[in-house]
Chain A
Amino acid sequence: MQCKDFEAVLEQEGLAPLPLAAKSHLAQCSACQNLFADLSVLVSAAQQLPAEMNPPQRLWVSLRAQMEREGLIKQPMAVAEEKAHWWQALTTLFKPRVLVTAGAALALAFAAFLTFHRSPMGVTNRSTPAPSVAQVPPPVQPNGVRPSSSGSPIPVPDPAPQAIASAKPRANPKPPAIQHFKPSPSDNVYASFPVALQDVEPNVNGPSLRGSVEADASLRENLRVINAVIAECRKHLKKYPNDTMAREYLASAYRQKAELVATILDSGRSEQ
C-alpha cells in the first residue's frame, strides 16, 4: 500500500477502525503516522466543541414578532380545547395577566428592537397606551437598603414621566398595539422612544393589598435601581451610539424592568 492509498482509506472509512493493510502501512510510514495522529487530535478537539449554543432571548422575540406580522400565528389550539365551565371561573384571574403579559412582551419587543436596529422602522399612529400608570413617587428609603457595590447610593435620576391615564386591569382589558416612532431630526433614536415603554411606572407607594411589607420595599428599591441603570446606559449611548456592549446592557435592563413591572402588577401591588 502506498501513502495515497492510505489516504483513500482514511477518506472512505474515516479514522477508526483501520483495515489491516492500512494498519501495516501505518506501522512503517512516519509521514502517514503524523497525518493520522494529527487528524485524530483535531477531530478529538472538534468533538469537544459545544454542539449547541444558547441563542439570545431576543431571537425568539424577534422571530415571533415577524411571524405575527406575516400572519403565521393563529388561534392557539390549547384555548379552543379548554372546557367552558372552568374557563369562566378563571376569567377574573386571567384578565390582569393579559395586560401584564402584553406589557412585558411590549417591553421585550422594544428591547429587542433597540438592540438590533440603529434607526427605527416606520410611522404609525399612536394607539392605546400600555397598561399602568401614574407618576413615579419620589424614592423612598426602605429599611435594610442594599448598598451598591461601590458603597455609595446609586444616583437616582429625576423621574419625569409623562402621566398616562390609568387603565384598571380588571375592567375591559385591551392589549396595547405595538407602537412605532419616527426618527427625530437629530437622528437620536432615543429622543422619541415610545412613552408607553419608557415611562411605565406602576405606583407601588400604596399599602400592600396582600403580602409582605418587606417585599414591597424591595420591589420599590429595585425599581429605582433599574431605572437608574437605564438612565445611565441611555446617557452613555447618546454619547457613543455605536457601543454594542452598552446597547446589550440597556436591552437587558429593559428586560429586567419588564419582568419587575410584571411581578408588581401581577401581585396586585400597584394602586388602581
Chain B
Amino acid sequence: MCASSAIAGTTLGGIRRIRNTSSAAIGLLARQRPTEPVAWTEAEAIRRAQAGDAAAFEHLFQLHSRRVYALCLRMVGNPADAEDLAQEAFLQLFRKIATFRGESAFSTWLHRMTVNVVLMRLRKKSLPTDSLEESLEPDSESTGPKRDVGAPDLRLSGAVDRVNLERSIEKLPPGYRTVFILHDVQGYEHNEIADIMGCSVGNSKSQLHKARTRLRELLQEEIREQARQERHAAKTQTGSLD
C-alpha cells in the first residue's frame, strides 16, 4: 500500500501524520536532522569559514586532520608533539584563511603550513652533534648515498616490517623524512611536493632518492643490530644452561 494515499490522522495516538512531500516542503521531523553540513563542497566550506562559521571550520578540520596529524606524527615520532603541531598548523591556516584566493589547492596550502610548522619545531630542537644544515637540508654533495666498502649489502626482502621501517624513518634527517613521507607514504606527486616544500620538481626527486637510499642503509643497520641481539640472547641462554 503506497503512502501517497493519505490516511486520516487525527485519532488519539496511532499514526498521526503521514505525508509524501517534495523536498521543498520540510516538515518538523525533517528539521531535526543533524546540523553537520555534509552537503558542503570544500569551496563552500572555505567560503563559510572565511566568514567565521564554526561549523565550516570543523568541516575543514574533519576533511584534513587525519592527513595532517599523520604527517606530524611521522615527522616527530610522538603523539603529544604531533597534536601540538597539528593544532598549530590548523590555527595558522584558520588565522590566514581570509587570504586564501584559490591559487593552489587548499590541501597543498595546508600541507605547506604543516611542513613549515614541523620543520621550524625541528630546527629549534636540532641535536647539538649534527650541524643544522646537515640535519635539515642535506647538501647533495656531502650526504649522498654511501656504500659500505667491503661489507656485502644485506638484502631487505622479507626483513622489513612496520616496526623497523617506522623506526628507521624517524632516524632520517628531517628534510629527507618530509619528502619520503609525502611521496611514499601519503602519495603526493613531485609537483605537489615541490609546491609544499617550496623547491623545484628536480630537487624533490633528488631528495626522495637520497631519502630512500639512506633509509635502506638505516634498515640494514637495524636488521644487523636485531640479528646481533638475537645471537647474543641465544649465546647467553646457552651459556646459562651449561
Taking beta carbons and an 8 Å cutoff, which residues of A are in contact with B? 7, 10-12, 14, 31, 34-35, 37-39, 41-43, 45-56, 58-60, 62-64, 66-67, 70, 72-78, 86, 89-90
A-B contact pairs, 10 of them (CB 8 A): A11-B206, A11-B210, A34-B153, A35-B213, A38-B216, A45-B162, A53-B73, A55-B83, A59-B86, A77-B51
Is B110 positioned at the interface, with any CB of A under 8 Å from its CB? no
CB–CB A46/B91 < 8 A: no
- Answer yes or no: B53 CB below 8 A from chain A CBs: yes
Contacting A52 at CB < 8 Å: which of B66, B79, B95, B206?
B66
* Residues of A close to B219: CB separation below 8 A: 42
Rounded to whole angstroms, the CA-CA distance of A35 and B148 in the bound complex is 13
In the bound complex, how far is the Cα of B185 from the Cα of A53, in angstroms? 12
Contact A50 B165 (CB under 8 A): no
Residue-by-residue, is B187-223 near A (CB-CB < 8 Å gives 1, otherwise 0)?
A: 1000000000000001001101110110110010000
Tell me whether B87 and A41 are in contact (CB under 8 A): no
Q: Which residues of the partner chain A approach B73 to less than 8 Å between Cβ atoms?
A: 53
Collect the chain B residues with CB atoms within 8 Å of residue A45's CB: 160-162, 165
**A67 touching B94 in the complex, CB below 8 Å, given contacts A38-B153, A60-B58:** yes
Do A12 and B87 form a contact, CB below 8 Å, given A39-B212, A45-B160, A72-B94?
no
Whether B155 and A37, one on each chain, are in contact in the complex, defined by CB atoms closer than 8 angstroms, is yes
Write out the residue numbers on chain B whose beta carbons fall within 8 Å of the beta carbon of A42.
156, 160, 165, 212, 215-216, 219
Binding site secondary structure of chain A? helix
Contact A38 B31 (CB under 8 A): no
CB distance from B28 to the nearest CB of A (A): 7
Of A62, A67, A70, A74, most buried by chain B (CB within 10 Å of CB) is A67
Closest partner residue, chain B, to A74 (CB atom)? B52
Task: Give me 19 other A-B pairs in contact (C-beta within 8 A), A39-B212, A73-B53, A75-B52 excluded.
Answer: A7-B209, A11-B209, A14-B208, A38-B216, A42-B212, A50-B70, A51-B70, A51-B186, A51-B187, A55-B86, A59-B87, A60-B65, A62-B87, A72-B52, A77-B56, A78-B37, A78-B53, A78-B55, A86-B31
Report the Cα distance A56→B187, complex, angstroms.
23
A34 → B minimal CB distance (Å): 5
Interface assignment of B42: CB less than 8 Å from any CB of chain A: no
